[in-house]
Amino acid sequence: MGLMELKMRNVYFRFVSILNDAGVVLIFFMALWICSDVIGRFVFNRPIPGTPELVKCLIAAIVFLCLVHTLCQGRHVRSDLILKRLPPWGATSISILASLLGVIMFALVAWYSGKQFWAGWLIREYEGVQLQVPVYPIRFILAFCAALFSLQFAFHLLAGIRGLFSRRRVVV
């Protein structure tokens, strides 16, 4: 691995970490909002309008903002029961197949989410009555992060192919 490739990986990983941090900040904001709504509802009999709409949009954004970082760290859900019993080429082959499917699936998610974002952007789509929550920024986060997720699967796919030729176990 060259110096330039290492620098690019560090920049990419830092960017993905910033997205993850943004997701954590949104979790904190959402927790404060929900606590305020509960206090307002039960203490003052005045809930915060639009809480369900806001929470629904924030949950989708939080999941996708944190998803890429999870895959970068190799902390996604996976069953090692079968992979540990396979020879190195078998485990790597399954990892390559899973990565290929991930590239395809999340590229499609990014494509269709991008179309939904653009349609929502053109009409300035909002959700809610009492508190209007803009939906198009959330759709952008979904499309952008799905594209990054597909890119991360492509990185794993390349690592798996390299591992297959070097005869070492690469499970990502």
pLDDT tens sequence across 53-93:
899 989 999 999 999 999 988 877 777 778 788 888 888 88
Do 51 and 37 contact (CB within 8 A), yes or no?
A: yes
User: Residue 170: what pLDDT?
Assistant: 61
User: Residue 172: what pLDDT?
Assistant: 61
Q: How far apart are CA 5 and CA 126, in angstroms?
A: 42
Q: How far apart are CA 166 and CA 163, in angstroms?
A: 5
Q: How are beta strands 126-127 and 133-134 bridged, if at all?
A: antiparallel
Query: In one letter, which amino acid is 137?
Result: P
User: Residue 169: what pLDDT?
Assistant: 59
Cα angle vertex 65, ends 92, 57, to 5°? 130
User: Residue 8: what pLDDT?
Assistant: 85
Do 81 and 135 contact (CB within 8 A), yes or no?
A: no
User: Residue 101: what pLDDT?
Assistant: 96
Q: With a cut of 50, which residues of the chain have pLDDT below it?
A: none
From the list 114, 91, 109, the residue with the least C-alpha distance to 150 is: 109
Task: Return the C-alpha torsion angle 61, 63, 69, 70, nearest 10.
Answer: 180
Q: How far apart are CA 125 and CA 120, in angstroms?
A: 5
What is the crossing angle of helices 3-42 and 136-166, to 10°?
140
Task: Give the CA radius of gyration of the chain.
Answer: 20
For residue 88, what are the contacts with CB-CB under 8 A and spacing of at least 6?
A: 163, 167, 168, 169
For residue 2, what are the contacts with CB-CB under 8 A and spacing of at least 6?
A: none
